[in-house]
């Protein structure tokens, strides 16, 4: 039984997008972490397997998962957790995504929508008077769906234990990883990002080095707090992420150093129970090839 998985993921840390592809072809996974085109061509006749992400290290983790007899869904999940660590600007557990799963044996494709959604406290006037509230601060953060979407796909199509898929990302975050060119580019081109990082204790600890300098490509950094988050509940769920956001907000309210206003804390009172949506794909034919989208 051959399953093809395509995942498109989004996050809310910085305003860029990311995609992940895990398919049964044959070939090596190129390092596209720079976000730039490469002179080396990876086109050719592919017949068996391949794992492709925008970061070589995550592609290797996906490949290792495949070698451990993981399903294509297992591979995608392990690689996605890795991307949340290394490609933090474009992927991660704070966002959501859409997954397309194709079963070659049954010839059926299924789509899972686990995009992030507005919190239960959202209303049509929440950004009134200040358009920046929709871009920065707690009110701009949606209820995440990525982990729940991965978990629902895993329940139907897994071969390996959930913990085994999360562990490589935990190890990376705890032991350290190198900043990619794509992360450096995002830090250098996102308007106002240095000031935002300086004003955020967590990001400041992670992304600033000596003399308040932003990290650069090749710098080794660690994210212990993220590792601990991934370890929660032996394979945590999005509901726990909501709890973490709310706890962090409560701690910051009374902090005389940061003095973060309430409207900049994420308001997840009555945090909705995020459910994923399973649906049939849109079908079409292009150049004689059947397309599921």
- Which two structure tokens, joined as six digits, stand for 119? 């919190």
- Contacts of 241-247 with CB under 8 Å at 24 or more apart are 241/93, 241/94, 241/144, 241/147, 242/143, 242/268, 242/271, 245/141, 246/271
pLDDT in tens, 227-270: 998 988 654 565 666 666 666 665 544 443 344 444 545 454 44
SS3 track for 115-144: CCECCCCCCCCCCCCCHHHHCCCHHHCCEC
- Which two structure tokens, joined as six digits, stand for 258? 């940061």
Are the C-beta atoms of residues 182 and 14 closer than 8 Å to each other?
no
Q: Which residues are annotated as a binding site?
A: 115
Q: Which residues are annotated as a binding site for L-glutamate?
A: 115
The percentage of the chain sitting over the pLDDT mark of 70, rounded to a whole number, equals 70
**Higher pLDDT pick, 218 / 54:** 218
pLDDT in tens, 30-78: 444 444 544 455 565 656 777 888 898 999 999 999 999 999 999 999 9
């Amino acid at each position: 039984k051959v399953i093809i998985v395509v995942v498109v993921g989004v996050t809310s840390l910085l305003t860029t997008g990311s995609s992940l592809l895990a398919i049964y072809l044959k070939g090596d996974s190129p390092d596209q972490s720079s976000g730039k085109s490469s002179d080396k061509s990876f086109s050719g006749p592919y017949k068996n397997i391949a794992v492709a992400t925008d970061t070589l290290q995550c592609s290797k983790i996906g490949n290792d998962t495949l070698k451990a007899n993981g399903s294509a869904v297992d591979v995608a999940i392990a690689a996605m957790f890795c991307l949340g660590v290394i490609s933090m600007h474009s992927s991660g557990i704070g966002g959501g995504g859409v997954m397309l799963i194709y079963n070659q044996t049954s010839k059926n494709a299924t789509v899972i929508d686990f995009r992030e959604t507005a919190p239960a406290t959202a209303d049509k006037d929440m950004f009134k008077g200040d358009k920046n509230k929709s871009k920065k601060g707690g009110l701009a953060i949606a209820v995440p769906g990525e982990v729940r979407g991965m978990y629902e796909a895993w329940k139907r199509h897994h071969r390996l234990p959930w913990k085994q898929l999360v562990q490589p990302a935990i190890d990376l975050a705890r032991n350290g990883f190198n900043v990619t060119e794509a992360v450096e580019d995002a830090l250098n081109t996102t308007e106002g990002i240095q000031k935002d990082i300086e004003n955020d204790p967590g990001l400041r600890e992670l992304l600033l080095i000596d003399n308040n300098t932003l990290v650069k490509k090749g710098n080794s950094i660690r994210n212990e707090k993220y590792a601990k988050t991934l370890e929660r509940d032996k394979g945590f769920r999005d509901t726990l992420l909501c709890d973490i956001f709310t706890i962090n907000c409560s701690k910051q309210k009374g902090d005389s150093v940061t003095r973060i206003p309430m409207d900049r804390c994420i308001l997840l009172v009555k945090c909705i129970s995020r459910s994923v949506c399973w649906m049939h794909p849109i079908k079409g034919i292009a150049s004689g090839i059947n397309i599921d989208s």
